[in-house]
Structure 1
Amino acid sequence: MFQNIVDTITGDSCNVNKEMKCVSGECKKIKGTVVLMKKNVLDFNDFPASVLDHLHELFGRGVSLRLISAVNCSDEPEAGENGMRGKVGKPANLEDWITSKAPLTAGDSAFKVTFDWDDEIAVPGAFIIRNNHHSEFYLKTLTLEDVPGQGRIHFVCNSWVYPAKRYKKDRIFFANKTYLPQETPMPMRKYREEELENLRGDGKGELQEWDRVYDYAFYNDLGEPDKGPKYVRPILGGSAEYPYPRRGRTGRAPAKSDLNYESRLPLLMSLNIYVPRDERFGHLKMADFLAYALKSIAQFIKPELEALFDSTPNEFDSIDDVLKLYEGGIELPDGPLLDNIRKNIPLEMLKEIFRTDGERLFKFPVPQVIKESKTAWRTDEEFGREMLAGVNPVIIRCLKEFPPKSKLDSKLYGDQNSKITEGDIKNSLDGLPVDEAIKNNKLYILDHHDTVMPYLRRINATSTKTYATRTLLFLKGDGTLKPIAIELSLPHPEGDQFGAISKVYIPAENGVESSIWQLAKAYVAVIDSGIHQLISHWLHTHAAIEPFVIATNRHLSVLHPIYKLLLPHFRDTMNINAVARQTLINAGGLLEFTVFPAKYAMELTSMAYKSWNFREQALPEDLKKRGMAVEDPNSPHGLRLLVKDYPYAVDGLEIWSSIREWVKDYCSFYYETDDMVTKDPELQSWWKELREVGHGDKKNEPWWPKMRTREELIQSCTIIIWVASALHAAINFGQYPYGGYLPNRPSISRRFMPEKGTLEYEELKTNPDKAFFKTVSAQLQTVVGISLIEILSRHSSDEVYLGQRDTPEWTTDDKPLEAFKEFGKRLEKIEERIIEMNRDKELKNRVGPVMMPYTLLFPSSDVGLTGRGIPNSVSI
């Protein structure tokens, strides 16, 4: 399979060809085309600028390229020991700007380049580029035509090239070939190794925008001790108390008041937080709008609205008040407040992100959950359905024991077992005894009790007032889940060691009991909303994937097949995570402002990371762990779902299996034996560092794959791709469709359940809606929270979806290209099946009372707020 480019090359030596370089006194010329994008096209404020400006600055000696031989070694002194370094050709400069080349993406520019051919180059395997221009540019491709004996050679670059003075080593790009390390032609090996060394850096100093360094750090940049105790947060990662995945290192100076913390950038510079330049968002409008919109909410909108709501009523009084957000918008009065927002946020962004002309701010699109019916969200059937087909369908599990038991340490927390009795639920089991309902897999639970209880006393000391929750559900004959009991628990007032104080609520349809039941469901939604955002979403996708991005760039060469396989699934992840650290998950950030744990939000995710298990991120393993599926060799995918109509799992297993088949085809092409996996030095160093550093707080866990077999490689890569693409899509892009309507998924509760004999209880009897809105998120938190999740639920115009590549010529190997094409066809068939299932009236959980088809695992999507589509990566 692995045939060298030239038959005379064995990979163990260099073939230095001393033949004549010119024939008849004339040197042969090799023509090429360079496609790049100028910096000014990428700037947000300069986006309308013409791409023609200053292109001439790149002509002449502005940019030069030198070809490197893949077959012949240099005899120059700089070639190093034994001269094992590819021969380097003479410089060639960019020439004419090509106006006729098509098709080019808007903003791209194409240039001619002509090389004096040197027979000792023979086969160009790489090229060095030197930028003598004053500004950086984005290099997309170099294509050589009519190379002797080779024909066309294509280089996929997709990288920023800064002025040469910014680099210690010349920038090098490799031809679009794929090699395992041991298969790399000898003249290319040193270049391959040095490029990885450059990307690893030396671990010193503050990293600048032109640095290309991928390195690790703890989450010691969320708190801001220099602003006082209110902004101190625990350092996450590097300790048994607060374990965490690593994030990308920036090298910023320590905080003045505590050297263990990294200083933070001022909010005005929040978009300048370091990530390797090639990890920054793309240039298209929506990608830029995303970052600017998050910054604007944090910097301008949130404080201005706080000022507004300090002087106006802070509550919704009725459902009609909430509906005004979508039907009329919140009209801001003229004055300094509106002037400041207009001055600091570009009008184009106000129109596109916030859909306002500047006169009426915050008019939101109607969330899908209320498009067809304004009341169906209140039904118990919809409440249960969203645990299977909503935005957080990854928590529910089959109940195996009754009453449910806690896993919290009883020495610390006393008796935390459930207080739900058989008497509470016996009338809801269709005549079945509890033990028989469990035996027949009829009872399910949404259990957030153990996750929340250790923090609940501290959380409730803030403005939040909430409960640890357990929700029991019964699987009906029509395949839907019926909530039958909700348990709300508080810490014992005399101390944690005395256990929990719990109350159990059961469904009611009339009178004040009905209003109490609706409030009980609201408390469950508050907790589920926070757990979703912090753990299911942030921790399990964003934070968990970042170490894979870093380790891959540090140890897998761009020539490596696994690098080429995984690269699309890391796009924009480091950038969105960096923006999140600066404006969302930081002390006093938007997330603390809009979810129930407030200042304890990120600390809570660290506790959840203690039970994170890489193997269990595989969908089949997750379903089995939660008791939602059992192994069955006669069933599709080898699993039988206990809830047949479980849309997330049904669609997810189709996507999972398709990804796995693609990964298996791909890996099997490059790794013919297990021994090849074991003897791949880049692969082994990648996996070792990932375990021991990237997820270093988990390095001693026995469940890590050893990376000794092809099966372990296939399974590990499938998990990485699944988490970065389909899992993230399933729990991200439904945020606005389901949670954009506050009553359906409130994220904060501000007072406890009303007790008989109190004024709150009387208000609940006489005006249940007003009591409801006094309990859940206030107006300001609602407006900011909805603004946030609307942005996070949108697809940008440059998104690349599962089964797609932004570079068609991403490999020259035919079999992987063919396998990838088949992967895309399988995904198209999955889309067709999803459409068919959503039309099947027997599958009640796919549409539900709200008449909202389940499309979150529909692979493709249009731009914007669609509630569907699986991007390749955690890109928003």
Structure 2
Amino acid sequence: MSVQYEVSLVTGDFPKAGTIDRIFVTLVGSRGNSEKVRVGLAWMVDKIRKGSVRTIKIQCGNDLGEILLVRLYKDKHTLLPEDSWHCQYVTVKAPNQKVYNFPCYSWLEDENTLDIIEGTARRKAEYRSTVLEQHWVDELQRRQKAYQWSTYAPGIPRCIKAESSDDLPKDAQFTLDRKVHIAFNIDSALLDLGLNPLKLLNSVWNNVGEFRRYLDFTKVPVAAHVMKHWKEDTFFGYQYLNGSNPQLIRRCRTIPAKFPVTDEMVSTLLGPNTTLQQELQKGKIFLVDYELLDGIPAHSISGDQQYLEAPMCLLYVNPQDELIPIAIQIKQKPGPQNPIFLPSDSKYDWRLAKIWARHADTQIHQLVSHLLKTHLFAEIFCVATLRMLPNAHPIFKLLMPHLKYTLDINTAARKLLISDGGVFDQAFSTGGSAKLQILQRALEQTTYSSLCLPEDLASRNVEHLPRYYYRDDALKIWSAINRFVDSIVNVYYQDDGSVQEDSEIQAWAMEIFTEGFLARESSGFPTVFHTKADLTKYLTMVIFTCSGRHAAVNTGQYDWGSWIPNSPSTMQKPPPSEKEKVGKLDIMRTLPGKKETALVVATVYLLSKTSPTSTKLGMYVEERFTEAAPKACIEKFQQDLLQITHEIKKRNQALDLKYEYLQPDLIENSVAI
């Protein structure tokens, strides 16, 4: 008896998602396959438009049973160029009115075939047919061929094998609307900012007023605040809590021998009736140590020697709950040629010491906190997920929205920022070989616990540090993600044994450990999951890294980095070896020149831009989960994020300088900028 199936195909709703090529469909069921049927009119060029839904009828001689796969084909027209098609999803209504959902979200290119599995999430043991077992094999083989590991440089995480965006599979590339918006063009950024690079070549700044006239800060309130307050000690301390790099400060329990600060040096700052030792015991003294930079030779820019040091900064929470710097040593090794600078020193001595600390912070922020610990780690997670987990796996469905477009943005970043002759080589003291040495050192020191926010905060002993809005908001985001992940894990894993038996997720963990963390056991990165709690914690870390952690160090780059005296990319003069030798002109000659300033400002402007088509945390425009249970988990997650947004907005109403970088409706789902 003849039966009829109704098949609806939804095309992506963005430019160039449609096609003029011929699309065909076959249904693969548990009892047989349908004929190959064309979508549209067979006798003419029939364009499938973006955002459209095409519904066709497929007549079969008998019932196909359970519909397992939808097989899509594309043929190009003989006289026309190939026109790729983006399939969003397919639904199939069977004769018994049962509706099958097939989430796709993939491109069909050239004259190829694409098999889409029915949308119910499943692990390998649940592929209960020969057809699906073969689909599992074919899908991973195809993915592992398309997404291959490459070594950019020894000792840093491995990356996707691609020299440019065009080398990536089309599924990993930006859609046209995002590609146009995010195009990394320094010249266009300079134009947007009203900067004329021809007037800035081969020239140094004469005074801070020139900086102020050079760029219009009135349109960026935080940048204007930075320009106004950057010299103040309270503002200097505030940045360690809520600036663009709020992840370094830690409580100081004992003064390091290499940083011999004494009571006499800081007593006037601590006030009467107390000592440095007493304030240490009270938990009021904090330390930022840039030891990671020690001994790394600075890169030369255009043949001119630059300078790089590894400062240490001691900070104090005063009775007003303000975090203020009380001592800075610019080099690691103490001695007569390496004085400890104090707020009681001359105005310019102290200002230059703080600038050296800010210079070091800028290098660590860009290369470690931002590039390594968000972009490169997100790329590890992305490539491993694509290589080891098929579309139907519940963890693939969970993670893909948080890995979207990361490969494209990272490929562009390697070309623009850290390539030979890129932005770092042109404008940063850590360009050239220095950037790779820093990345290598930082990876060697990175541990699993340091990426797990609650453990990181506890290890730095900053749980009670006042006015630390980054910590407060990040913990809320972490907790919301953790609850969401836990709910998803509970849907698909009945007990710890089901986690242990999931060979796919175990292989995924090993791939990340081996390729991303270079099989370094001291990293503490899991190579196997024993319990549901293990898996939940790990997945929380992955999603937080790709969303909250990235937002905290990326979104405010222009806010905090466009006023170059506050975040110098390089230093053109060596640090002072004695006090009372620094004047205003010495500071200006030390700061980056006009050319370097223009390049850095344009770059942080580009890196801080938000795409109008960006997807905010928890908004899953690709509906990969088709069952009711995970959809309920997503809805609860979204409600939690709305509540956090409300709490942050309410807190910010009382602040002169709002902290918004971890407001959920401003956090992007993935590392996509």
User: TM-score, normalization: structure 1?
Assistant: 0.71
* Aligned-residue offset at 1:694: 3.5
Tell me if the contact between 2:197 and 2:598 (Cα under 8 Å) persists in the aligned partners. Answer: no
Separation in structure 2 between the aligned mates of residue 695 and residue 217 of structure 1, nearest angstrom: 14
Tell me if the contact between 2:349 and 2:579 (Cα under 8 Å) persists in the aligned partners. Answer: no
* Aligned-residue offset at 1:305: 7.4
> Out of 198, 203, 206, which is 1:314 matched to?
203
Larger Rg over CA atoms: 1
Separation in structure 1 between the aligned mates of residue 431 and residue 196 of structure 2, nearest angstrom: 19
Aligned residue identity for 2:37? A
Tell me if the contact between 2:67 and 2:118 (Cα under 8 Å) persists in the aligned partners. Answer: yes
Q: 1:415-430 maps to which residues of 2 (within 5 A)?
A: 417-430=258-271
> Out of 546, 567, 572, which is 1:750 matched to?
572
**CA 1:295–1:124 in structure 2 vs 1: closer, same or farther (change >3 Å)?**
farther
Unaligned runs of 5+ in 1: 1-21, 43-50, 73-86, 98-104, 202-212, 220-234, 237-242, 251-264, 328-363, 406-416, 493-498, 629-640, 841-846, 861-868
2:35 is aligned with 1:90: yes
**CA 1:475–1:307 in structure 2 vs 1: closer, same or farther (change >3 Å)?**
same
Tell me if the contact between 2:418 and 2:424 (Cα under 8 Å) persists in the aligned partners. Answer: yes
SS of the residue 1:156 aligns to: strand
* Aligned-residue offset at 1:458: 7.0
Partner of 1:792: 607
* Aligned-residue offset at 1:800: 0.8
Aligned residue identity for 2:5? I
* Aligned-residue offset at 1:144: 3.2
Tell me if the contact between 2:71 and 2:116 (Cα under 8 Å) persists in the aligned partners. Answer: yes
* Aligned-residue offset at 1:325: 3.0
2:324 is aligned with 1:472: no
Tell me if the contact between 1:135 and 1:163 (Cα under 8 Å) persists in the aligned partners. Answer: yes
Tell me if the contact between 1:389 and 1:647 (Cα under 8 Å) persists in the aligned partners. Answer: yes
By relative contact order (CA 8 Å, sep 6+), the higher-ranking structure is 2
> Out of 57, 64, 72, which is 2:24 matched to?
64
Q: 1:399-410 maps to which residues of 2 (within 5 A)?
A: 399-402=252-255, 404-405=256-257
Separation in structure 2 between the aligned mates of residue 798 and residue 525 of structure 1, nearest angstrom: 34
My pick for the range that moved more, 617-626 or 746-755, is 746-755
* Aligned-residue offset at 1:609: 0.7
SS of the residue 1:502 aligns to: coil
My pick for the range that moved more, 770-779 or 817-826, is 770-779
* Aligned-residue offset at 1:489: 1.4
Separation in structure 2 between the aligned mates of residue 669 and residue 295 of structure 1, nearest angstrom: 50
| 1:592-625 deviation digits (Å, cap 9, x = unpaired) | 3232212111221111110111232010111112
Tell me if the contact between 1:674 and 1:710 (Cα under 8 Å) persists in the aligned partners. Answer: yes
Separation in structure 2 between the aligned mates of residue 457 and residue 572 of structure 1, nearest angstrom: 33
Separation in structure 2 between the aligned mates of residue 467 and residue 706 of structure 1, nearest angstrom: 40
Partner of 1:506: 342
* Aligned-residue offset at 1:384: 0.3
2:470 is aligned with 1:648: yes
Tell me if the contact between 1:490 and 1:500 (Cα under 8 Å) persists in the aligned partners. Answer: no
Aligned residue identity for 2:670? S
SS of the residue 1:31 aligns to: strand
| 1:36-59 deviation digits (Å, cap 9, x = unpaired) | 3599737xxxxxxxx7xxx6x43x
| 1:56-101 deviation digits (Å, cap 9, x = unpaired) | x43xxx22111111x33xxxxxxxxxxxxxx33210111169xxxx
> Out of 384, 394, 410, which is 2:247 matched to?
394
Tell me if the contact between 1:287 and 1:796 (Cα under 8 Å) persists in the aligned partners. Answer: no
* Aligned-residue offset at 1:505: 0.8
Partner of 1:174: 117
Aligned length: 659
* Aligned-residue offset at 1:471: 0.8
* Aligned-residue offset at 1:753: 4.1
**CA 1:564–1:771 in structure 2 vs 1: closer, same or farther (change >3 Å)?**
same
Tell me if the contact between 2:448 and 2:523 (Cα under 8 Å) persists in the aligned partners. Answer: no
2:661 is aligned with 1:856: yes
Tell me if the contact between 1:287 and 1:798 (Cα under 8 Å) persists in the aligned partners. Answer: no
Aligned residue identity for 1:426? S
Aligned residue identity for 2:180? D
SS of the residue 1:378 aligns to: coil
* Aligned-residue offset at 1:521: 1.0
Separation in structure 2 between the aligned mates of residue 91 and residue 121 of structure 1, nearest angstrom: 14
Partner of 1:198: 142
2:156 is aligned with 1:244: yes
Q: 1:48-447 maps to which residues of 2 (within 5 A)?
A: 57-58=20-21, 62-69=22-29, 71-72=30-31, 87-95=32-40, 107-133=50-76, 134-164=81-111, 170-186=113-129, 187-201=131-145, 213-219=146-152, 235-236=153-154, 243-250=155-162, 271-272=165-166, 274-284=167-177, 286-293=178-185, 309-310=200-201, 314-327=203-216, 366-371=219-224, 374-402=227-255, 404-405=256-257, 417-431=258-272, 432-447=274-289
* Aligned-residue offset at 1:802: 0.9
| 1:809-848 deviation digits (Å, cap 9, x = unpaired) | 32122121111111111111111111222234xxxxxx4x
**CA 1:435–1:813 in structure 2 vs 1: closer, same or farther (change >3 Å)?**
same
* Aligned-residue offset at 1:577: 0.9
**CA 1:172–1:130 in structure 2 vs 1: closer, same or farther (change >3 Å)?**
same
Separation in structure 2 between the aligned mates of residue 532 and residue 277 of structure 1, nearest angstrom: 31
RMSD, matched Cα: 2.9
Q: 1:600-749 maps to which residues of 2 (within 5 A)?
A: 600-628=434-462, 641-698=463-520, 701-704=523-526, 706-749=528-571
2:588 is aligned with 1:773: yes
Tell me if the contact between 1:489 and 1:501 (Cα under 8 Å) persists in the aligned partners. Answer: no
SS of the residue 2:512 aligns to: helix
Unaligned runs of 5+ in 2: 43-47
2:658 is aligned with 1:822: no
2:491 is aligned with 1:558: no
Aligned residue identity for 2:446? W
Separation in structure 2 between the aligned mates of residue 35 and residue 591 of structure 1, nearest angstrom: 43
Partner of 1:570: 403
* Aligned-residue offset at 1:113: 2.8
**CA 1:826–1:118 in structure 2 vs 1: closer, same or farther (change >3 Å)?**
farther
Q: 1:11-30 maps to which residues of 2 (within 5 A)?
A: 22=1, 27-30=2-5
Tell me if the contact between 1:728 and 1:874 (Cα under 8 Å) persists in the aligned partners. Answer: yes
| 1:327-383 deviation digits (Å, cap 9, x = unpaired) | 4xxxxxxxxxxxxxxxxxxxxxxxxxxxxxxxxxxxx77433343585222211111
Tell me if the contact between 1:318 and 1:773 (Cα under 8 Å) persists in the aligned partners. Answer: yes
* Aligned-residue offset at 1:745: 1.6
Tell me if the contact between 1:31 and 1:112 (Cα under 8 Å) persists in the aligned partners. Answer: yes
